[in-house]
Amino acid sequence: MKKQFIAGNWKMNLTIDEARGLARKLCDESVNSGVVDIGVFPAFVFLRDICEILRGSKVYVGAQNMYLEKSGAFTGEISGPMLRDVGCTHVIIGHSERRTIFHETNSMINSKIKAALSCGLKTIFCVGEKQEERDDDKTNEVVGNQLSEGLAGLTSEQIKELTIAYEPVWAIGTGKTATPEQANEVHTFIRNTIRSKYENDTAQSIRIQYGGSVNSKNADDLLGQPEIDGALVGGASLDVKSFLDIVSAAARSS
Ligand code: PEP
């Protein structure tokens, strides 16, 4: 049985004091038994402080994005080695907000995944369809393309360092959640796609999180699905109680 992985994407939210407070509470309260992996993804400018607060705890810290080059004339960007330098172990790549608002393409996301893995950052790779694509019955086609282009050229050793997050765009921040069956169906498709490209072991061991309006009320049903190995949580990760309720739901389904 894989450990579930619950990740909190804080997005562009919180003040530094609020971020520190949230991290301290997590540090105190999530002295987790080790049954569930937990990670938080604060804004870049808070990372160093949050890494400091959570150092020695079981809560991983990661960034919400990074640039694909290691250093150089890329004004305003942050590199993988810089994230490592301040203590991050993880990074999210290909979030739908990066794809839609900042026009990140599958090929750019592929380069970012390679850059992240090459500097030792464990990567959450996000995929997911838009509402109109689901309505047109194109979910598998869209997610299939995101997977084949996003993972192009990666070895099975590298794939093992990834978590895939299935995040239907229509469910992110909308309060609309995929039903547990809808989510499980796409997770099965994702695992089968990985199986068709890599060995069965790789497909079995990779964790696939669900993301999209996960909260303390729907977490049990979603995380109880056989192909769901955790959650990427936006809004509900900003409140320590709701986030830890989701962690508890993950522990129950382990
Ligand atoms: C997310 O940002 O990855 C996310 C799933 O957000 P929310 O939980 O708020 O829908």
Tell me which of 237 and 28 has the higher pLDDT. Answer: 237
Q: Which residue bears the tokens 């739908």?
A: 96
> What is the arithmetic mean of pLDDT over 117-124?
98
> What is the arithmetic mean of pLDDT over 109-132?
98
| Dist CA 225 CA 109 (whole Å) | 28
Residue 33 has pLDDT above 80, yes or no: no
Which residues are catalytically annotated?
A: 95, 167
For residue 136 the two structure tokens come to 């047109």
Domain that holds residue 156: 4-253
* CB of 65 closer than 6 angstroms to any ligand 1 atom: no
- pLDDT, tens digit (0-9, with 9 covering 90-100), for 34-44: 799 999 999 99
| pTM > 0.75 | yes
Atom of ligand 1 nearest to the CA of 235: 9
For residue 47 the two structure tokens come to 């990372």
Q: Give the pLDDT confidence score for residue 126 in this predicted structure.
A: 98
CATH code of 152's domain? 3.20.20.70
- In a mutational test of the pocket of ligand 1, which residue from 5, 10, 11 has the highest number of ligand atoms less than 8 Å from its CB? 11
For residue 172 the two structure tokens come to 């992110």
> What is the arithmetic mean of pLDDT over 199-220?
96
> What is the arithmetic mean of pLDDT over 146-170?
96
Residue 30 has pLDDT above 70, yes or no: no
Domain count, the chain: 1
